[in-house]
Structure 1
Amino acid sequence: MVFQFSMKTKGVLTLLGGFILLLMSGSMFLWGQINVYVTSYYRQKDDANLDLSVGGAIFPVMMASFGIGLPLGIKLVKIFGQARISLLISTIISCLMIVISSYTARFYQFVIVYGIISGLAQGSIFFVPIYIGYLYFPNNRGLVVGINSLGYALNSFLFGLLFFKLVNPNGLPQISNPDGYSYFEGVSISVAQAVPQAIRSIGYIFLSVSIVATQLIMYHPNQIGEQEKRLKKELQKKESEMKELQQIQQKLELIDIQSTKNNNLQDLEQFKQTDIAQLDQLEVNKKIEIIQLEEEIIHQKIQIAHKLDLQQEYEYINPQILKKLKFEEIQSSENKSNEISQNQKLVELIVLDHPNRKQHKNSFLSEINTKPLDLEKYYDQKENQIEADLQEFKKRNAYIEQQLNNLGPPSIKVCFRQPQLYVSILLGFLVIGLGLIINGNYKSIAKDYGFTSDSFQSLVGSLSGIASGFCRPMWSLLLDKYSFKRILQILLLIEIITSLTIQFTNVNRIFYALWVFIIHTTLGGVLVMWPVFCSQINGIKIGSQLYCFYWLGFTIANLFQFMLVMGLKTKIGFNNILYIYFAQALIGLLLITFYNFKINWAKYYKEIPKNLQSQVSLQKDQTLDNQLRSTISS
């Protein structure tokens, strides 16, 4: 028995599957909680000199691998034709790598398996359930991304607590080491020895639950690649019809030639009794011509569908602009059908936009008498008309410039010549730094402040995961009401205050947990706000393609915090390192306040795009109608 679900039911199941799937694959931000356990394990197994700062290398490595894997997900959906199949493959790879990492004998092997390979697979998972969810709920995109992102953020909350229960159920303390960090060794070495089994247990949970979750991701007929497949099947059908008609045509021609030469009446009588004889030669030719035209149309549709699929490979990473992209594509297809009339209107627009005073002078000489008073009056009227035309010309130029700026740059090459691109990547590097260093080192900071309880540190990490997840819808709602500049200024002010005052939270563990919670809200804010910032600077389509460079900036920021901790923690301590992030936040605040990120893309267009020509022509027609009405009324 096959169950038939409605589209709404399929959409709900897809949302549920995406939430569970991302809940199982959000282990990148879990590393801040398990770093001390894994490092302690490899210290007693392989390298007694391995310190916690080196263990922190997995965080930036995994973040870089995750970013590389992001574009792979949509490509796999197109290859396999089913999101659940591509997700199943990526999920199995990711979870098995986590399990296999527990058997590695050396720390660098663990970095390769857990950090790089599993990170790539997790990156290919992340946006696929969000993308399919958008297809089912195109008018509720905020709901889709909110539910899926919440699952991703809750991973560190749930599995951070679970990992603690598996490896340290008795709450054994960390032992201070001369390198300035604390580890599970000596009387608490049993905690380190329990790490491999705990990783395997979590890996098996990820694997079993994720396999079920992938089957909840439903097929959508409009997903990437499906339209192109349908058109190719239709084209194959037309090609087979064409072959049959060509064979009939050849038989008709052959029999006609033979009958003409031999004048064989018996062959003619036999031929008349066949099905082929029922088809007239002209009719066959006509059908062939029709199929050829249909094939040509299908070829054009395949090209359009292919371009749309390529566009989706970029746009799904920045889902907040999906609706605008679809609107532009529909508008572009409508413009193609009216291309001739648009070109004519554009010619009329150009003629109208260049008023000629001599032309006006010559025209009125034939219309009125050459009396001085009449000439002066009519001349004044024409002068006023010229001024009105010039003003209208300026308005249309301003409108065209505004629309071209909304379209963004004409090509990605133009973006790479703009300093705003590199300054905006620098701004992302500056803004995300504080959240990354706290996320990766909050346990070490807590130990320095005297909060040595492992259960308390795990609880802080779990609450931080909630902060990073639940704050994202909040930042998104604020972006709908206020400008990006204003929201980012508020976020940076929060970073400035928290980076200067976190050292005073050593007097109370509740204050420390609250400060870490607040800092993680800024981390979630940057991750949800930056795709919008990217599209605002670089345009909708090109901005989607350039977002990977911003993720590269985030990865460099993560690597930078790792190098700072490894090189300076034992020398100047975390409090002094955080002053560096105070300086970064201050520089970021100055940049967003005083630097002009807006680019005049209109000057890089050599001609007006076709989808904009129709808008300009429509505006021009409306202007002429208004002028005509005013003339009639006067």
Structure 2
Amino acid sequence: MVNRKILTVLGCALTHFTIGTIYCTGNIMPYVTSYIFLKDESVTMASMTIVFYICILTYALAFQISNLIQLKYTPKKCIYAGAALYIVVVFVTAACQNRIAVIIIYGILLGAASGTAYPAALMIAISCYPERKGLVTGIVVGSFAVGAFVFNFIATAIVNPSNVKPYSRVVADGKTEKFFEKSVADNVPEMFLILASIYTVLLTIALFLVEDIDIKALNAAASNPPQPAVINQDNEKPKKTNKGTTKDSNHLKVDHDDDDADSSSEHSESHDASENSSMEEHNEPEKKAEYKRIQTFIVNENLNLSPLDAFKTRQFHQIFWCFILSGTAGLFAVASFKTIGIKYGYDDTFLTVTGSLGSILNGTMRPLWGLFFDKTNFRMVYLVILCTQICICVTFPEVSKFKPAFLIWLVILFVCSGGHFTLLAPTAVRIYSRATGSKVYTYFIIAMGLASICVYFIQVYATVKLDPSIFFYILAGLSGISLISTIFFSEIIKVD
């Protein structure tokens, strides 16, 4: 029979696999824009890119809602709420025919639905294997990225099975935009209905597999680890007198033959010595396992910080603000790889392969980031990510002229973005314990939401006014600032 913990982690991973399809927004939005263009010719492709960034922002902000639901009810009920809203939003979007409706319903509500279910599923998975939280986080969060890779192909197969190319049209402001023809655009409602039906099946299976946890009990246990019981052998065993008399709790005396007493005493002493030796041998692996659990699961086990106290720590600010700066590089690559490639003159098929390969590696490499974290610490893993991003951004303007290098460099940035998302949850738990760490994580993730908004302004304004090479040097500089701060990072919180 399959271990119940394994099934629960599988269910959590399947939940992330489904709600991770918010990353399909960049792929399906051109189809949606073309559908809206049939009734509103003032809409442009650029104006609808904001849907994805709003989706990511509300996804990050919804972690606070998720935290409240988990505390008031249970994590699984939180998944129920997020999954139900996610399915309803996709179904309703099929009826949307104007940009405002799409921005509000799909952009705001879909992100909120995903962000509500995301942390609950992750925390349930981590609770199953706390000593392997990095690996478990990598598997579950990796599924979040892989879901987008799979459903990108499904959505495209539904809307544009014949691979029809978009045509050029002059929009209201006199600029030329490319839209898909009516035969393709009219398939958008059908696409949303089919996707929503698939999501319903997948999330139903996921919820069936997931076993709920009592987060209050786990938080209490994490804050107050049980102390080993002290056995008083004098109280547990009868006391023997020199005269072969046994004294019980009621002070009754029972006389024995001296030889029997001596024989019994020798047997008892031999038995006690054997039992104590056996207990020590049995407890030794447990002691080592407990020591390893403390080292990997929580660093500041003697501290019981509230979320407000955690916000005042140097570690919180070093992570939060650094992730806003360094998160922009990977998110920019994820959002704008096609825009960059078009400027370099690369064909659409090649760029699609680049984005697809980046997405799948973004997800599949997250377990490795988690394993790396389990073996080392936050600073080591984050420094590797930052150094990699700096090298990629500094050299990209020169190597991007070559197709293989262009693909490899961008895929590496995709992988670094996955590393950012993988680090936050286990780091929060390791530094602040489960009780406070789960709450701190909901604030850490906001940093990636703010980084996403930065990506939007960079994509819409900076890439137009700045030379691409200068822009990448700026991204390298932002990661450099984070690197300097991280060099002085310590997971141990010092109390004055």
Structure showing greater relative contact order (alpha-carbon pairs closer than 8 Å, 6 or more residues apart): 2
1:523 aligns with 2:417: yes
Instruction: From 441, 448, 469, give the equivalent of 1:554.
Output: 448
Q: Deviations over 1:127-175 (max 9, x none)?
A: 3344444555555545543443332221111111122222222333345
Secondary structure of the residue aligned to 1:57 is helix
1:21 aligns with 2:15: yes
Distance in 1, Cα, partners of 2:322 & 2:210: 37
Q: Deviations over 1:449-479 (max 9, x none)?
A: 22232x4433333222211111112122222
Secondary structure of the residue aligned to 2:345 is coil
User: Is the 2:86–2:110 contact (alpha carbons within 8 Å) kept by the matching residues of 1?
Assistant: yes
Pairwise CA distance, 1:64: 2.5
- Structure 1 vs Structure 2 CA RMSD: 3.5
Pairwise CA distance, 1:434: 0.5
1:429 aligns with 2:324: yes
Pairwise CA distance, 1:423: 3.9
Counterpart of 2:188 in structure 1 is 195
1:442 aligns with 2:337: yes
1:475 aligns with 2:382: no
Counterpart of 2:32 in structure 1 is 38
Distance in 2, Cα, partners of 1:573 & 1:180: 25
Q: Is 529-538 or 433-442 further displaced after alignment? A: 529-538
User: Is the 1:32–1:442 contact (alpha carbons within 8 Å) kept by the matching residues of 2?
Assistant: no
Distance in 1, Cα, partners of 2:340 & 2:424: 28
Residue 212 to residue 180, structure 1, CA distance change in 2 (3 Å): farther
Amino acid in structure 2 at the alignment position of 1:422 = H
Amino acid in structure 2 at the alignment position of 1:145 = T
Alignment of 1:386-405 (within 5 A): none
1:10 aligns with 2:15: no
Pairwise CA distance, 1:427: 0.8
Instruction: From 210, 214, 221, give the equivalent of 1:224.
Output: 214
Amino acid in structure 2 at the alignment position of 1:185 = F
Pairwise CA distance, 1:203: 2.0
Alignment of 1:257-268 (within 5 A): none
1:99 aligns with 2:91: yes
Counterpart of 1:151 in structure 2 is 143
Distance in 1, Cα, partners of 2:75 & 2:382: 39
Instruction: Name the structure where helix makes up a greater proportion of residues.
Output: 1
> TM-score, with normalisation over the residues of structure 2?
0.74
User: Is the 1:176–1:183 contact (alpha carbons within 8 Å) kept by the matching residues of 2?
Assistant: yes
Pairwise CA distance, 1:410: 4.6
Counterpart of 1:108 in structure 2 is 100
Pairwise CA distance, 1:18: 2.8
Q: Deviations over 1:419-471 (max 9, x none)?
A: 55334321111111111111112222222222232x44333332222111111
Distance in 2, Cα, partners of 1:34 & 1:154: 16
Counterpart of 1:64 in structure 2 is 57
Counterpart of 1:232 in structure 2 is none
Instruction: From 325, 330, 353, give the equivalent of 1:459.
Output: 353
Residue 457 to residue 175, structure 1, CA distance change in 2 (3 Å): farther
Secondary structure of the residue aligned to 2:44 is coil
Q: Deviations over 1:192-236 (max 9, x none)?
A: 4433322332222112332233223245xxx217xxxxxxxxxxx
Of the two, which has the highest radius of gyration?
1
Pairwise CA distance, 1:70: 3.0
Counterpart of 1:249 in structure 2 is none
> TM-score, with normalisation over the residues of structure 1?
0.59
Pairwise CA distance, 1:562: 0.4
Amino acid in structure 2 at the alignment position of 1:109 = A
Residue 448 to residue 156, structure 1, CA distance change in 2 (3 Å): same
Amino acid in structure 2 at the alignment position of 1:224 = D
Residue 598 to residue 27, structure 1, CA distance change in 2 (3 Å): closer
Amino acid in structure 1 at the alignment position of 2:413 = I
Alignment of 1:205-604 (within 5 A): 205-218=198-211, 223-224=213-214, 308=217, 311=219, 326=222, 328-331=223-226, 407-408=302-303, 410-418=305-313, 421-453=316-348, 455-504=349-398, 506-534=400-428, 541-572=435-466, 574-593=468-487, 595=488, 601-603=494-496
Aligned length: 427
Pairwise CA distance, 1:95: 1.4
Secondary structure of the residue aligned to 2:328 is helix
User: Is the 2:134–2:374 contact (alpha carbons within 8 Å) kept by the matching residues of 1?
Assistant: no
Alignment of 1:39-188 (within 5 A): 39-52=33-46, 54-73=47-66, 76=69, 83=76, 87-137=79-129, 141-142=133-134, 144-175=136-167, 184-185=178-179, 188=181
User: Is the 1:156–1:465 contact (alpha carbons within 8 Å) kept by the matching residues of 2?
Assistant: yes
Pairwise CA distance, 1:521: 0.8
Residue 74 to residue 538, structure 1, CA distance change in 2 (3 Å): closer
User: Is the 2:44–2:177 contact (alpha carbons within 8 Å) kept by the matching residues of 1?
Assistant: no
Secondary structure of the residue aligned to 1:331 is coil
User: Is the 2:429–2:438 contact (alpha carbons within 8 Å) kept by the matching residues of 1?
Assistant: yes
User: Is the 1:73–1:127 contact (alpha carbons within 8 Å) kept by the matching residues of 2?
Assistant: yes
Q: Is 123-132 or 411-420 further displaced after alignment? A: 411-420
Q: Percent identity?
A: 21
User: Is the 2:75–2:121 contact (alpha carbons within 8 Å) kept by the matching residues of 1?
Assistant: no
User: Is the 2:59–2:114 contact (alpha carbons within 8 Å) kept by the matching residues of 1?
Assistant: yes
Q: Deviations over 1:544-572 (max 9, x none)?
A: 43223322222111111101222233333
Distance in 1, Cα, partners of 2:343 & 2:454: 21
Distance in 1, Cα, partners of 2:182 & 2:409: 31
User: Is the 2:52–2:107 contact (alpha carbons within 8 Å) kept by the matching residues of 1?
Assistant: yes
Amino acid in structure 2 at the alignment position of 1:55 = M
Q: Deviations over 1:552-611 (max 9, x none)?
A: 222111111101222233333554433321221122222223x455776321xxxxxxxx
| Uncovered stretches (5+) of structure 2, i.e. residues with no partner | 231-297
